[in-house]
Amino acid sequence: MKIGLKGHDFRYEVFHIVSLYIPKEEIEFVEDNCDLEVVYDENNGSVLCRYKDFIKEYKLKSNDKKELKNAIKKVVLKLFENITGVSMLWGILVGIRPTKIVHDALSKGFSEDEIKNMLVEEYLVSSEKAELVLEVAKNESKYLKPPSKSVGLYIGIPFCPTRCSYCSFTSNPYYGNKQVSDYLLALKKEFYSIVNFLNENKVKIDTLYIGGGTPTSLNEYELEDFLSWINELICVNDLREFTVEAGRPDSLNRKKLNILKKNFVSRISINPQSMNQETLNLIGRKHSVDDVVEKFYVARECGFDNINMDIIIGLPNENEEHIKKTMKKIADLNPDSITIHTMAIKRASILNEKMFKGDKDTANKMYDIATKYVRYMGMRPYYMYRQKNMVSPLENIGYSYFGKECIYNIQMISESTTVVALGADAVTKIIYEDSGRIERVANLKDIKEYINRIDEQINKKLKKLIDSPLTY
């Protein structure tokens, strides 16, 4: 589809609304001979969108830039709804963090009904999603104000037993990888420098999250050594939460789980993604459904009372019957939280290379089934985020029993707390609460470069932290 813009340059906004209906590779912006025309008439104070005989127009109430941007998105969305008969549940919201709108409105004194009306009328969000995002915002609100002068700390271990076909994270095969020991040495050096800075400035570490990759890909000696080293430098008993992603059942055994528990890890994830064996084989998960069940019960026997399980909606060849099977098996295990991800086809993933597109209608039905299960179990939604390139424009959402919410996830998604991130491809986000500004400091993605240039990355991060509110 050839798109022409007149009187404005909101190309990014138009592109993301059109791409809800048209494949991105088919969208082209042109000067002349366009199929779709999006026009802002400043003199008339209106926005018009035209495609063949379909026309939508919106009269602006002011010259406010935000209103103009939203008006452009609305006329484009309404026009495509008329053409296709398909409505988008999230309306013109294409951002990652829809709860931010709710928190902002609550801080300004808006009532819940006023917020729902705003979401429906100004952003064209469905009533169902408006109710959901308000519920999530209310449930996460008590965690948005961290302890005074504190941070969340993230440590990345970018190794996995194998690479899943949907994955685009910085993840490298663990077995036979000669860089593991050098990586851990570099990571220790970064951790030591950052923790010393935090201690010197009396900054409290509130939550600690070790992710990846799959941190439990490390062998027993490496895992024990690294966690013991962390325990020597910080008082983990003072943390509100200490999470380790033990996501791959094929990376776990009883000894590793005991090592985690002995080192005061309070929360883990054991992530099946699907409880259908044919799907696991297809997406490169080298474990069985029985492995998931076995490792879950071993974790319970080791004393873990806060276990999360992830599932993915829209995996290749799955339909409603597959998700029913997955949810029934997970409900029988009864984890403490369940995170429902909608399949996102990342550019760097194997699935994208294979031109996998997925089926939107099937994904929507599977999502509804999954959410009915977690609601029936008594869980409630506590954090949410959205991604680009989803099989269906839904959301990723965490459900948990009361008191089993992942505080780090809320801090990270809401961007309410400074999160200092260590390791390859880790991104530190420094929050300037007074101005709302966020300063990002990214580590190098490539493991070899991260190792070779560790001093440079440490110095870069320390320079930003020294000039941050953490030293005020």
Taking the C-alpha atoms of residue 126 and residue 121, their distance in angstroms, rounded to an integer, is 9
Strands (E), 225-333: 241-245, 267-269, 307-313
Q: What is the pLDDT of residue 391?
A: 73
Q: Are residues 201 and 269 in the same domain?
A: yes
Tokens coding 138: 């209310």
**pLDDT tens readout for residues 165-177:** 555 555 577 666 7
Q: What is the largest CA-CA distance in the chain?
A: 72
Question: Mean per-residue pLDDT for 122-127?
Answer: 96
Taking the C-alpha atoms of residue 405 and residue 462, their distance in angstroms, rounded to an integer, is 31
Q: Is the pLDDT of residue 197 over 70?
A: yes
Q: Are residues 105 and 35 in the same domain?
A: no
Q: Is the pLDDT of residue 451 over 90?
A: yes
Domain assignment present for residue 196? The answer is yes
pLDDT classification of 178: cutoffs 50, 70, 90: confident
Domain assignment present for residue 89? The answer is no
**More confident call, 287 vs 79:** 79
DSSP assignments along 412-449, one per residue: HHHT-S-EEEESTT-EEEEEETTTTEEEEEEPPSSHHH
Domain CATH for 324: 3.80.30.20
Q: Are residues 203 and 105 in the same domain?
A: no
Taking the C-alpha atoms of residue 171 and residue 445, their distance in angstroms, rounded to an integer, is 10
Q: What mean pLDDT, rounded, does the chain reach? A: 92
Residue 242 bridge partners (DSSP): 208
As for how many domains the chain has, the answer is: 3
- Helix ranges restricted to H, 285-398: 289-301, 320-333, 350-353, 360-377
Q: Are residues 124 and 138 in the same domain?
A: yes
Q: Are residues 22 and 155 in the same domain?
A: no
Domain assignment present for residue 245? The answer is yes
In order of 371, 391, 397, the CA distances from 276 in angstroms are 18, 19, 21
Q: What is the pLDDT of residue 349?
A: 45
Q: Are residues 75 and 221 in the same domain?
A: no
CB 425 within 8 A of CB 405: no
Question: Mean per-residue pLDDT for 101-126?
Answer: 95
Domain assignment present for residue 396? The answer is yes
Cβ atoms within 10 A of the Cβ of 19, count?
A: 18
Q: Is the pLDDT of residue 358 over 70?
A: no
pLDDT over 90, % of the chain = 81
Q: What is the pLDDT of residue 94?
A: 86
Taking the C-alpha atoms of residue 194 and residue 423, their distance in angstroms, rounded to an integer, is 12
Listed residues 109, 142, 175: the one ending a domain: 142
Domain that holds residue 410: 144-458
Domain CATH for 26: 3.30.160
Length of the chain: 472
Domain assignment present for residue 463? The answer is no
Domain assignment present for residue 90? The answer is no
**pLDDT tens readout for residues 134-166:** 999 999 999 998 888 999 999 999 998 776 555
Strands (E), 172-300: 172-173, 204-212, 241-245, 267-269
Stated pTM of the model = 0.92
Domain assignment present for residue 464? The answer is no
Lowest mean pLDDT among 18-22, 193-197, 380-384: 18-22
Q: Is the pLDDT of residue 108 over 50?
A: yes
Q: Are residues 63 and 43 in the same domain?
A: yes
Q: What is the pLDDT of residue 170?
A: 54
Domain assignment present for residue 92? The answer is no
Q: Are residues 135 and 154 in the same domain?
A: no
Listed residues 84, 110, 128: the one ending a domain: 84
Q: Are residues 136 and 30 in the same domain?
A: no
Lowest mean pLDDT among 62-66, 256-260, 387-391: 387-391
pLDDT classification of 355: cutoffs 50, 70, 90: very low
Residue 398 bridge partners (DSSP): 339, 383
Q: What is the pLDDT of residue 348?
A: 47
Q: Are residues 275 and 354 in the same domain?
A: yes
Q: Are residues 50 and 179 in the same domain?
A: no
Q: Are residues 128 and 148 in the same domain?
A: no
pLDDT over 70, % of the chain = 94
Residues 6 or more apart in contact with residue 204 via CB below 8 angstroms: 147, 148, 149, 150, 151, 198, 238
User: What 3-state class would DSSP assign to 190?
Assistant: helix
